[in-house]
Homo-oligomer: A and B are copies of this chain.
Amino acid sequence: MEAPWSREEFVDRLRAVGEAKYHDKHPFHVRMHRGELSPPEVRGWIANRFYYQKMIPVKDALILSKLPNREDRRRWIQRILDHDGRGDDEGGIEAWLRLGEAAGIPRAALLDERHVVPGVRFAVDAYVHFCRLEPWWVAVASSLTELFAPDLVARRIRVFEEHYPWVRPEGLAYFRQRLHQAPRDAEHGLELVVRAAPTRADQERTVAALSFKCDVLWALLDAVERAGPA
C-alpha cells in the first residue's frame, strides 16, 4: 500500500485536476470569455445552465442526509440556504432566473426548461445520481470545483460587463454572491475530504470524483455548444 500524500501534495493533486480539465478550458467557454458569443448563444448557455443551478440544492440535500454529524450538517446546510434562499434572501436560483431575465429570457422559459437539451439533462442528472449513490466524502469531493470557481467567476463578471453589456448589470448578482460563497464552501469541502480520506486509495478516489465533476461541467458545455443558440 502506498503512503498517503501529504495535505499539500493532496491539494496539489486536486488543483491539478482543475488545471487539466476545469470547464474554463472548454472551447465554448473560451469563446464566451473572449466575448465571441452571440446573444442567442449566451442565452442558450444561461437557459441550459439553469438546469444545473436548480439541481444544486437537490445534490446538497442528498449529501446533507449522509454527513456524519450535526456540526458538519450545520455548515453544509448553508449551501442549500444560499441557493433556495431564506426569509428575505431570495437565493441563488432566483438570482439565476434574474440573470436570464437580464439577458432577455422570459422567466417562464427558464422554469419550463424548454431550452434544456438532453445532453445537459443527462450530465446534471449523472452528477445528482453520483451524489446520491457515492459515499458522502466522495460526493463532497465532487463539489471541489469550488476551488477553481472564484477566479473564473471574478473574470466572468468583468467579461460580461465588457463584452455583453446588453445583459443588464443587475443580472450579474448571482456571480457576485458566489465570489464569497464558493471559497467558504471549498474550505469546508476540503476539510471534510482531508478528514475522511486518510489513505492513498481514498485520496485517489477523491481526485477521481473531482475529475468526474469536471467531466459533468465539460459535457454540459459540449451539449450547449452543439445545441447552438436558444
Contacts and interface: CB of A to CB of B under 8 A. Distances in A.
Interface centre among A62, A65, A70, A85 (most CB of B within 10 A): A65
A93 interface: yes
Interface in A78-117: 80-81, 84-86, 91, 93-94
Interface residues of A, number: 21
A14 interface: no
Contacts of A77: 77, 80-81, 84, 86
A70 B58 contact: no
> Main SS of chain A's interface residues?
helix
A189 interface: no
Contacts of A132: 65
A124 interface: no
A80 B61 CA distance: 11
A177 B74 CA distance: 19
Given A62-B65, A77-B81, 17 more contacts: A57-B73, A59-B65, A61-B61, A61-B62, A61-B73, A64-B64, A65-B65, A65-B132, A70-B84, A70-B85, A73-B80, A73-B84, A74-B84, A74-B85, A74-B86, A77-B77, A77-B86
